Structure 1
Amino acid sequence: MNPIETATKESILSALNDLIDVVARLRSPDGGCPWDLAQTQQTLIPYIIEEAYEVAAAIRRDNQEEIVEELGDYLLQVVLQSQIAAESGDFTLEEVAQGITDKLIRRHPHVFGDVEVKDASEVRKNWEEIKAKEKGYDPKQVEKLSQNLKKYTETLPPLYASLKISQKVAKLGFEWKDEQGVWDKFEEELSEFKASLSTNDVAHQQSELGDILFTLVNIARWYGFDPSEALQGTNERFVQRLSVMEDLAENSLSEYSLEELEMLWQTAKQRLKG
């Protein structure tokens, strides 16, 4: 049975209407919330990004109750953005919902039309061609790699964008012949970064650092790793070890010498391994 049939459309719409009413009340100049009233579409950008990451984290933990909560927080951002836009006459939540509904129907002609497809890759190909026509491009432009890569640089977190870019370019054959090639490239970029540190050109130094990070992403790709997942794991392990250090320490960590902190770190590391 379709989940939409279990939880009736009426109850779903009722819950959404309640949320819309609450957000409208929060934004009301007459007795609304000062914080919500102070927000703009621009000031809410960090919250949109943060909530998206929290949804992803809940899904990784496979915690269904947490997923429900985090999806609610993310839905709030959609409603709040739409409320702000409606107040200035730009667009409404109705337009947002209708827009994505119409898009899904247009881009799934194999479901809502008479187009036949063989597999998911053909679905993707049709999707990109329809998208190109909608935006006024020649469908052949879909094959232009730079167009898609530019989108990644504008919309994805930098580390993930680097992985997507390197994956797409590698498929063209713009790739090292073997793994030694990518390691040689890393050594080259590391050397250039070290050399840049002897100058006062901060922009150049940052550029060289970016080259190192991009090469590290390529190393991860060569060995089948997800660099974002790898870094996320390191962040979590670091915080776990720091927490154990704080439990082991009798005083604030700021009162210990570097040597003492290193001893606490190694003890915490071994305890977590055990």
Structure 2
Amino acid sequence: MDKSKDDEVNNRDIGIARLKSLVERLRDPENGCPWDIEQDNKSIAHYCIEEAHELQHAILLNKTDSIKSELGDLLFQIVFHCNIAENSYGFSFDDIIQDVCDKMIFRHPHVFNKKEEQGKPISIEEVKDNWEKIKSLEKKGSQDSTNFFEDVPLSLPALSHALKIQKTASQSKFDWTDPEEILGKINEEVRELWLASKSKEKIAIEEEFGDLLFSLVNLARKLSIDPENSLQGSIKKFKKRVGESIKIIETEKIPDDKLTDGKLLEIWEQVKKLLKKNES
């Protein structure tokens, strides 16, 4: 065993090199951890997703210590994957760093390739449009036309997956020109869902419900709304309203047999007014 590697693992003054050494030590074929040694990219792929969700949760709760901890957990997973890739695929940690830096520089010409004669500052919307155009340019010539959506991860949550698919399709002009057209499509899908629900055929209902959701995601994209964030906001609002409604029921000691649909609706409207008043 290389003693210098243990020295690096315990050295708090060498930054990212300490983490790299830690992973190398854990995966040392002779003296490492049996579990860490036997892992490959596929066996630990889901941990990146888990850690990213835990980081997002900490950010939403605005817990500073948790954010720091979860960033560390996610970084550990990334360095672990880099170590596996270095041993299995022949590219190094440094290759990964250089590649992502080159990519980000290329995708930010308004920062790194400014021209003196350039006029007014670029807007955020222009940055986003240019980003998609540059990504499309990067893939041009290398993308298989028979598998146009190959780069869209199948593991994305459904709303994000739909959004990504729509953005990719829009690069080839498969897109609506304005939100009003999509609103017309949504009305059409609502009618089709209503008809399917009347038929009581589950497969048809599920299909039409999916079409409606897909159209709603399209509308969100055109309105520059993230559907995941929008839905999370509605979930948060619903949870708060339910919580406040339960408080009223418990405070007023309303028995279950008195909680009719009408009474529950009355409490719900009371809570909506109360929360709106508190927010104003």
Could you tell me the TM-score, scaled by structure 2's length? 0.60
Report the alpha carbon displacement of residue 31 of structure 1 after superposing the two structures with TM.
3.3
The one-letter code of the counterpart of 1:28 is D
Against the structure 1 CA distance between its residues 217 and 99, is the aligned structure 2 distance closer, same or farther, given a 3 Å change threshold? closer
Aligned residue for 2:4? none
Stretches of structure 1 lacking an aligned partner (at least 5 in a row): 1-10, 142-146, 246-257
In the alignment, the residues of structure 1 paired with residue 201 and residue 114 of structure 2 have an alpha-carbon distance, to the nearest angstrom, of 64
Q: Is the 8 A contact 1:52 1:74 kept in 2?
A: yes
Aligned residue for 1:198? 201
In the alignment, the residues of structure 2 paired with residue 178 and residue 100 of structure 1 have an alpha-carbon distance, to the nearest angstrom, of 36
CA deviation vs aligned residue, 1:169-192 (integer Å, no higher than 9, x gap): 89742654585x355334234236
Report the alpha carbon displacement of residue 75 of structure 1 after superposing the two structures with TM.
1.0
Aligned residue for 1:55? 55
Report the alpha carbon displacement of residue 161 of structure 1 after superposing the two structures with TM.
3.7
Report the alpha carbon displacement of residue 95 of structure 1 after superposing the two structures with TM.
1.0
Against the structure 1 CA distance between its residues 77 and 153, is the aligned structure 2 distance closer, same or farther, given a 3 Å change threshold? closer
Aligned with residue 173 of structure 1, among 149, 166, 177: 177
CA deviation vs aligned residue, 1:146-173 (integer Å, no higher than 9, x gap): x7x8755757432134346389689742
Report the alpha carbon displacement of residue 88 of structure 1 after superposing the two structures with TM.
1.6
Stretches of structure 2 lacking an aligned partner (at least 5 in a row): 1-10, 247-255, 276-280
3-state DSSP of counterpart to 2:41: coil
In the alignment, the residues of structure 2 paired with residue 182 and residue 19 of structure 1 have an alpha-carbon distance, to the nearest angstrom, of 52
Q: Is 1:32 aligned with 2:32?
A: yes
In the alignment, the residues of structure 1 paired with residue 94 and residue 136 of structure 2 have an alpha-carbon distance, to the nearest angstrom, of 25
Q: Is the 8 A contact 1:196 1:208 kept in 2?
A: no
Aligned residue for 2:23? 23
In the alignment, the residues of structure 2 paired with residue 224 and residue 170 of structure 1 have an alpha-carbon distance, to the nearest angstrom, of 18
Against the structure 1 CA distance between its residues 206 and 107, is the aligned structure 2 distance closer, same or farther, given a 3 Å change threshold? same
In the alignment, the residues of structure 1 paired with residue 226 and residue 132 of structure 2 have an alpha-carbon distance, to the nearest angstrom, of 25
Residue-pair matches, total: 243
* Alpha-carbon RMSD: 4.9
User: Matches of residues 85-96 of structure 1 in structure 2 within 5 Å?
Assistant: 85-96=85-96
Q: Is the 8 A contact 1:185 1:215 kept in 2?
A: no
Report the alpha carbon displacement of residue 27 of structure 1 after superposing the two structures with TM.
1.7
3-state DSSP of counterpart to 1:44: helix
Against the structure 1 CA distance between its residues 155 and 112, is the aligned structure 2 distance closer, same or farther, given a 3 Å change threshold? farther
Q: Is the 8 A contact 1:193 1:209 kept in 2?
A: no
Aligned residue for 1:188? 191
Q: Is the 8 A contact 1:189 1:212 kept in 2?
A: no
Against the structure 1 CA distance between its residues 23 and 130, is the aligned structure 2 distance closer, same or farther, given a 3 Å change threshold? same
Q: Is the 8 A contact 1:86 1:92 kept in 2?
A: yes
Against the structure 1 CA distance between its residues 69 and 187, is the aligned structure 2 distance closer, same or farther, given a 3 Å change threshold? same
In the alignment, the residues of structure 2 paired with residue 90 and residue 196 of structure 1 have an alpha-carbon distance, to the nearest angstrom, of 57
The one-letter code of the counterpart of 1:173 is T
Aligned residue for 2:210? 210
